[in-house]
Structure 1
Amino acid sequence: MEPPADFGQAGHGAWTDGPLVLGAPWEIEERLVRTAAGLAAITGAHLICAFVDPASYLTEWEPAGFLDATSLDPVRNMEAEFPASQLLAGLEGFLGPPGGSWSFRVLNGEVAQALGRLAESTDAAALIVGGQRPGRIARMSRLLEGSVSVSLTRLQARPVLIIPHLGP
């Protein structure tokens, strides 16, 4: 019988003590939230649930090299307050009120880039997003806008955890 493996040095220095960033879609899934919260609890990390305002995509059209903090500190957008407040209420239903273990952020810009900037600014340990949804409408959306999970795996040096979508 072999002795158990010694993982004491495995990944040493590769995993930061930063928070976990959950890319929270408009139609939030309980499984996605609970998986992210469970991982945050196991690792002792703060969970940042981030919603990217879909009406703010034009933020990304700034000239190359010009980057202000708009996606990290967005201007108040009355149109985005409804989906953001609905999403926050849903998250509170799963996680309780925001506080020490988790927080909620509304970002502007293209989804993968905005999540990446948040992860960079908070020195996040990892990003967590939902997997691709099935169906024609979801496929058309990916064709037009691209896949957030695929974009993140191409843009990020930090780990990206993709939670598969199970529902129809």
Structure 2
Amino acid sequence: MVLGVAWEPSGNVIRAGAALAARLNAHLICAFVDPASYLTEWEPAGSRTSASLDPAVKSETDFPSSHVRDGLQAILGPPGEEWTFRVLNGAVAQALCRLADSTDASLLIVGGQRPGRLAAMERILEGSVSAELARLQSRPVLVIPVLDA
């Protein structure tokens, strides 16, 4: 199972995803998509220097991912057999789809829409990750309400 986690992870989404994975005896992959990076494939073809899907390594991206990992560990304990943490790059929905495809995940889990004007403005500008996943994916997508926003 793949659980998409945000910069400020929702405790109820993480706990619900972990509980479902435990009930189904499935490994939970918690994935954070770093919005400050992108894949080289999305650069104009003439400016690309390689054909790799591996993102360029940037030391400034270590802080956001470590912040998210620390939040996950506070809720789930240290990573291990029950769960692992992955940092992805690119557009959120597409990155989660690539991870689900590459791991043959049985289910994608994401948090629902956050309340508030700022979150509504972000959805207008960037779109809804859960709606995009439902459109792109052939596997089930579970949207868990964000209660602790």
Matched, 1:119 2:100: yes
The offset of 1:63, in angstroms, is: 6.3
Task: State the TM-score, normalizing by the size of structure 2.
Answer: 0.90
1:6-32 CA distance string (max 9 Å, x none): xxxxxxxxxxxxxx1000100101101
Structure 2 CA distance, aligned partners of 1:88 and 1:54?
A: 16
Residue matched to 1:76: 57
Distance (Å, rounded) in 2 between the aligned partners of 1:99 and 1:48: 10
1:134 aligns with 2:118: no
How does 1:1-168 map onto structure 2 within 5 Å? 20-57=1-38, 59=40, 61-62=42-43, 68-70=52-54, 74-167=55-148
Cα distance in 2 between the residues matched to 1:81 and 1:136: 29
Structure 1 unmatched ranges of 5 or more: 1-19
CA distance in 2, matches of 1:34, 1:21: 13
Q: Secondary structure at the match of 1:125?
A: coil
Cα distance 1:135–1:59, how it changes in 2: closer, same or farther (>3 A)? farther
Aligned length: 145
Mapped partners of 2:114, 2:144: distance in 1: 11
SS of the aligned residue for 2:37 comes to helix
**1:157 is paired with a residue of what secondary structure?**
coil
Q: Is 2:31–2:88's contact at 8 Å kept on the other side of the alignment?
A: yes
SS in 1 for 2:36: helix
CA RMSD of aligned residues (A): 1.9
Report if aligned partners of 1:60, 1:109 keep a CA contact under 8 Å in 2.
no
> Which residue identity lines up with residue 69 of structure 1 in the other structure?
L
The structure having more radius of gyration, on CA atoms, is 1
* Greater relative CO (CA pairs within 8 A, separation 6+): 2
SS at match of 1:49: strand
